[in-house]
A and B are shown apart, each in its own frame.
Chain A
C-alpha cells in the first residue's frame, strides 16, 4: 500500500491550469524524485499535499484511505513535512530547542527536561552525522546545517513523508554529500523522501523513482534505473512547438549594453554578455541559476562585487534603482505582487510611480497627467479595469502584470529587463504581453528576457543565454536553440540527443 497516492488532482489559478489531472503514488522507504521545468506544477502539488491549498478536483489517499488535508496542521499530524530552501528556524534558540519547540520533553515535575531534550536531539543529530552540538545557537548555523536541523525536527516528529524542495541549491559539494548520506539514512528508516530538483546528476545518484511533470500534467512515473538523464530531459520538454509566438522582424543595431565579468560572491561569477538595440535576448536556466540575482545587481537593487557595465559606451555603476532608471534601464521584477506593485494603490498611482518627476510640476502632482498616462497604457496593453482609479489589488493576476509592465514602459527605458513577465498569467494575456514585447523591440528597445518557459524563450529571443550555478554556460543563436539543448545546458548534461 502506497504511503501517499494522488488521484486525478487538479488545480487552477484564475484560468491557468496549474495542475491537470495528476495521478501517481509514493511508496514508503523510497526517494521519489519530482522533476519538471519551472511552472510544471511541482510547487502547486507540494502546497496541496502540505495542506496550504486545496485541490479543485481529485483526492489524496494516505495508506490507502482517503485523506482531507485542510490545513498545515493536519498535514503535520499525518507526518507530511516540507523543507524549503530557506529553512524555518528560531534563530535565537538552540538547536535542541528548535527541534522540540512547543513539544519540550517534560520531567516528572512537568518542567522542561533539558537533559532529555539535548540527549534526544543529540541522538537524532548524530544519526544524521552532523558536527554541531545540541546547545549551539542556531543563529550561528549556515544554511546546510539549518537544513539538517529541519530534517532532525521532522524525524523527531516521526515524519513519514519528507518533501525537499531544491535542497542543494545553497550547499557546497561536501555538504551535498552529507545531505545525500542523510537522505539515504532516512530511506532506510522507511521515510519517503520526495526530492524536487533540476540537478539531474543528483537524481541519478539518489532517486529510486522519478515522476516527470510538464505543463501541469503527469507525464511518467518510472523507476530511476530505467531512465537516463537524456530521456528525462526529453520527457520534461517533449511538447510540440507548433504554437510559436509571432515575433516581429526587428532591426538589430549597435551594442547598447555590455556586461563584463560581473561577479557577486557566492551567487554568480564572471557574467559577460552584450545586448544590441532592437534585440530580444533570452536568459534561461533553472531556479537558483542566478538569473534574477544578475538582473537585480545590474539594476542596483543588490550589490555587485566585481565586473564592469557599459551602457551606450559609457561606464555605469549600478548604485541604486534610481541611478539605473536615469541611464535608461528598467527592471520588471519576478515577484510582481510584492515588489512590482503597491497593492492598495490605484492603477494610475502605480503606473506613474517610477516616473513621478515627469508627472509633477515643481513637485506638485498632476492627477490629470497621471490618469492620462495610465489610460494610455491601459489601452496599449489592453488592461481590463473599470478606470485608472481602480485599486490594483482587485485586478486579476494577468492585468496586474500588465500594470507593472505599463509602469516600466512609462519610464521610456532603452533597456528593459523582464523577469518572468508571463509567470502565472493566462494565455490571452500572455499573447498580449508577447505582442507588446516584440513590438517594443521592433521600435528599437533592447530586451533581456528572463524566463523559465522554454516556448517563450525560444519563440521570442534572437539569442539565448543559459546560466547554470551562477555562471553563463551557453550562448545560442535563434537558429541553434532548441528546447533540448537549452535544458541540457541549464542542467549541465552532455548527452547527445538520441
Chain B
C-alpha cells in the first residue's frame, strides 16, 4: 500500500503543488503585495477552520461515508460555548464543554450510521438541518462578541512580529497529528480497509462498527475545534457561522484526492488542496471577484476534481472510460456475476 500510495501521491500531489504554484503566479500578477512573506503566511488563516473540518471529514469519507452536517455542528457547538462562557464560566472550560457537545453531535451521526446502518447521506442531511436549527434556537438573539485575547489568539493572533499566524500553526499541528493517525496507526489502516471492502475487513476481525461510529465522533470533534478557531479569528460566535462553508470543505477533501467512494486518500493531499482553495479564493479577492462568483469557481473546481479522479482511475484500470464501461457492466450484471458463480463453486 505504501508503494502504491507513493505512486498515487506523486501524481495527485504533484498536480496540486503545480496548481498552487500556477495560481500563485497568477495572483502575483494581480498585486505586488501577493508575494510578500506576510501575505503568503496569512493566506490560509481565514480558511483554517475550513481545513480543520476537512481533516475530520477526510476520516469519514475514507471509510466510505459522508458527513454534510459538519458546518452545522460547528455552529451549534460554538453557540453553546458562547452561551456557557457568557454565563460566567471560564473560557477554556466553556471551550471544553463546546467540544464535548460537538463530539456528542458527531456521536449521534455515528450511532445512526454505524449501528443502525442508515444511509449517511440522508442522516447527515437531516442532522445538518437539525443542528443548524438547534444553533439558532440556543442563540436567540445576537452573537456573543467578547472573548478574552488569551483565547482568540489561537484563531486570530500572530507571532514573530505580527507575521506568523498562530492559526496556521494550529492547522499544521492537526494536519501532522491526524496525518500520523491516518497513515501510521492501526486505526488508520482500519479506515482504508473498511472503505475498500467492509466485508473483508469484518472477516479479518476489524471492529467495523466501533470504527464507523468513531469516525463520525472525530468529524464532530474537528468541527468543534474548527469552531473555536473560527471564534478566535472572526471574533464572534454566530448561529449561522460557517453556514456557507460546506462547499469549500467538500472541495478541499475531494480535490485532495480522497476518493468519494472510500478507501483512498491522504492527509497531505487534503492539506495541499486546502491551501489551493485558500489561494484561489484570495486570488479572486485580489481580482475583485465577488464572493458569489468565487463560489462558482470553487463549485466548478469541485466538479473538475471528481471528473479528473474518474478519468485517472479509469486509465489506471486499463479500460476505456464511461460509455464502453457501462455496456460491459450491463453484461456482467445479468449473470449476477461473481457472487453467484463463486457460490456455485465454478469453474
Interface residues, chain A, CB within 8 Å of chain B?
11, 13, 16, 18-19, 38-39, 41-44, 46-47, 50-52, 71-73, 76, 82, 84-86, 88, 165-166, 216, 287, 299, 301, 320-322, 324-325, 331, 333-335, 337-346, 348-349, 353-354, 356-357, 360, 363-365, 367, 387, 389-391, 407, 420, 423-424, 452
Which residue from A11, A82, A335 sits with its C-beta under 8 Å from B335?
A82
**Which residues from chain A contact B205 at a C-beta distance below 8 Å?**
320-322, 324-325, 354
Contact yes or no, B340 A84, CB < 8 A: yes
Contact yes or no, B187 A363, CB < 8 A: yes
Are A43 and B203 CB-contacts (below 8 A) given A50-B334, A363-B187? no
Contact yes or no, B200 A338, CB < 8 A: yes
Contact yes or no, B335 A353, CB < 8 A: no
Closest beta carbon of chain A to B328's beta carbon, Å: 8
Given contacts A84-B336, A363-B187, 18 further A-B contacts (CB under 8 A): A39-B346, A42-B346, A43-B345, A44-B347, A52-B332, A52-B334, A82-B334, A86-B340, A301-B202, A325-B205, A338-B200, A342-B200, A343-B197, A344-B196, A353-B200, A389-B4, A391-B1, A420-B345
**Which residues from chain A contact B333 at a C-beta distance below 8 Å?**
72
**Which residues from chain B contact A338 at a C-beta distance below 8 Å?**
197, 199-200, 338-339, 342
**Which residues from chain B contact A166 at a C-beta distance below 8 Å?**
344
**Which residues from chain B contact A357 at a C-beta distance below 8 Å?**
186
Are A339 and B335 CB-contacts (below 8 A) given A354-B205, A367-B2, A389-B3? no
Closest beta carbon of chain B to A452's beta carbon, Å: 5
Chain B interface, DSSP helix/strand/loop, else mixed: helix
Contact yes or no, B185 A360, CB < 8 A: yes
Q: Interface residue tally of chain B, by bracket?
A: 35 or more
Closest beta carbon of chain B to A297's beta carbon, Å: 13
Which residue from A320, A340, A348 sits with its C-beta under 8 Å from B200?
A340
Q: List 6 A-B contacts (CB under 8 A).
A: A43-B345, A47-B341, A334-B342, A342-B201, A353-B189, A424-B346
Contact yes or no, A407 B2, CB < 8 A: no
Contact yes or no, A345 B193, CB < 8 A: yes
Closest beta carbon of chain B to A106's beta carbon, Å: 24
Contact yes or no, A364 B344, CB < 8 A: no
Q: Which among A18, A356, A390, A420 has the highest number of chain B CB atoms within 10 Å?
A: A356
**Which residues from chain B contact A76 at a C-beta distance below 8 Å?**
334
CA–CA, A335 to B338, complex, Å?
9
* B330 contacts chain A at the CB level, 8 A cutoff: yes
**Which residues from chain A contact B207 at a C-beta distance below 8 Å?**
320, 322
Closest beta carbon of chain B to A286's beta carbon, Å: 9
CA–CA, A213 to B239, complex, Å?
72
Across the A-B interface, the 9 shortest Cβ-Cβ residue pairs? A18-B347, A38-B345, A43-B346, A389-B3, A72-B334, A52-B335, A322-B205, A349-B1, A353-B204
Are A345 and B347 CB-contacts (below 8 A) given A88-B336, A331-B203, A391-B4? no
Are A287 and B343 CB-contacts (below 8 A) given A345-B192, A363-B186, A389-B3? yes
Q: Nearest residue in A to B183 (C-beta to C-beta)?
A: A365
Which residue from B188, B193, B347 sits with its C-beta under 8 Å from A424?
B347
Q: Which among B203, B331, B342 has the highest number of chain A CB atoms within 10 Å?
A: B203
CA–CA, A162 to B190, complex, Å?
45
Closest beta carbon of chain B to A413's beta carbon, Å: 11
Closest beta carbon of chain B to A176's beta carbon, Å: 19
Contact yes or no, A340 B203, CB < 8 A: yes
**Which residues from chain B contact A334 at a C-beta distance below 8 Å?**
342-343, 345
Are A364 and B184 CB-contacts (below 8 A) given A337-B342, A353-B206? yes
CA–CA, A133 to B264, complex, Å?
48
